[in-house]
Structure 1
Amino acid sequence: MTVTYVLSGFAVGLLVGLTGVGGGSLMTPLLTLMFGVSPTVAVGTDLAFASTTKAVGTLAHRVRGTVRWDVVRHLCLGALPAALATTLALKYFGQLDKEIGKIIRYSIAGSVLLTVFALLFRGRMQAWVLAHPEKQLQGRGLAAATIIIGAVLGALVTISSIGAGAVGATLLVLLYPRLSPAEIAGTDIAYAVPLTAIAAAGHWWLGSINWMLLATLLLGSVPGITIGSLAARAMPEKFMRALLAATLTAVAAKLVF
Structure 2
Amino acid sequence: MDVGNFGFVVAGLIVGFVVGMTGVGGGSLMTPILLWFGINPATAVGTDLLYAAITKSGGVWVHKKNDNIDWKITGWLTLGSVPAVAVTLWFLSHLHADAQAMNAVIKQALGVVLLLTAMAILFKKQLLAFAQKHAGDHYSLSDRNLNGLTVVTGVVLGVMVALTSIGAGALGTVALFLLYPFLPTRRLVGTEIAHAVPLTLVAGLGHASMGNMDWHLLGFLLMGSLPGIYIGSHLTGRIPDGVLRPCLAVMLVAIGYKLAF
> 1:23 maps to which residue?
26
> 1:98 maps to which residue?
100
Question: Post-superposition shift, 1:77?
Answer: 0.3
1:172 aligned partner, one-letter code: L
2:146 aligned partner, one-letter code: L
1:5 aligned partner, one-letter code: F
TM-score by length of 1: 0.97
Residue among 5, 9, 13 paired with 2:16: 13
Aligned equivalents of 1:174, 1:253: Cα separation in 2:
26
> 2:202 maps to which residue?
198
2:13 aligned partner, one-letter code: F
Aligned equivalents of 2:251, 2:215: Cα separation in 1:
27
Residue among 4, 7, 10 paired with 1:4: 7
Aligned equivalents of 2:182, 2:122: Cα separation in 1:
20
Alignment of structure 1 residues 78-89 onto 2, 5 Å: 78-89=80-91
Alignment of structure 1 residues 119-130 onto 2, 5 Å: 119-130=121-132
User: Mean alpha-carbon deviation: is it higher for 19-28 or for 130-139?
Assistant: 130-139
Query: Could you say what secondary structure the match of 2:167 adopts?
Result: coil
Aligned equivalents of 1:5, 1:148: Cα separation in 2:
36
> 1:159 maps to which residue?
163
Question: Post-superposition shift, 1:96?
Answer: 2.4
Residue among 234, 238, 243 paired with 1:239: 243
The gaps in structure 1 that reach 5 residues or longer are none
Question: Post-superposition shift, 1:252?
Answer: 1.2
1:72 aligned partner, one-letter code: T
Aligned equivalents of 1:45, 1:77: Cα separation in 2:
24
Alignment of structure 1 residues 126-141 onto 2, 5 Å: 126-132=128-134, 133-134=136-137, 135-141=139-145
Checking the alignment, whether the CA contact within 8 Å between 1:40 and 1:208 is kept in structure 2 is yes
Aligned equivalents of 2:108, 2:13: Cα separation in 1:
26
Alignment of structure 1 residues 32-111 onto 2, 5 Å: 32=35, 34-111=36-113
1:14 aligned partner, one-letter code: F
Checking the alignment, whether the CA contact within 8 Å between 2:85 and 2:202 is kept in structure 1 is yes
Checking the alignment, whether the CA contact within 8 Å between 1:29 and 1:255 is kept in structure 2 is no
The gaps in structure 2 that reach 5 residues or longer are none
TM-score by length of 2: 0.95
Checking the alignment, whether the CA contact within 8 Å between 2:17 and 2:231 is kept in structure 1 is yes
Aligned equivalents of 2:216, 2:260: Cα separation in 1:
28
Residue among 113, 116, 135 paired with 2:115: 113
> 1:174 maps to which residue?
178
Aligned equivalents of 1:179, 1:106: Cα separation in 2:
34
Checking the alignment, whether the CA contact within 8 Å between 1:136 and 1:175 is kept in structure 2 is no
Question: Post-superposition shift, 1:255?
Answer: 2.0
Q: How many residues are treated as equivalent by the alignment? A: 256
1:68 aligned partner, one-letter code: D
Aligned equivalents of 1:117, 1:195: Cα separation in 2:
22
> 1:218 maps to which residue?
222
1:213 aligned partner, one-letter code: L
Query: Could you say what secondary structure the match of 1:234 adopts?
Result: coil
User: Mean alpha-carbon deviation: is it higher for 237-246 or for 145-154?
Assistant: 237-246
CA RMSD of aligned residues (A): 1.0
> 2:232 maps to which residue?
228
Structure 1 outlier segments of 4+, above 6 Å = none
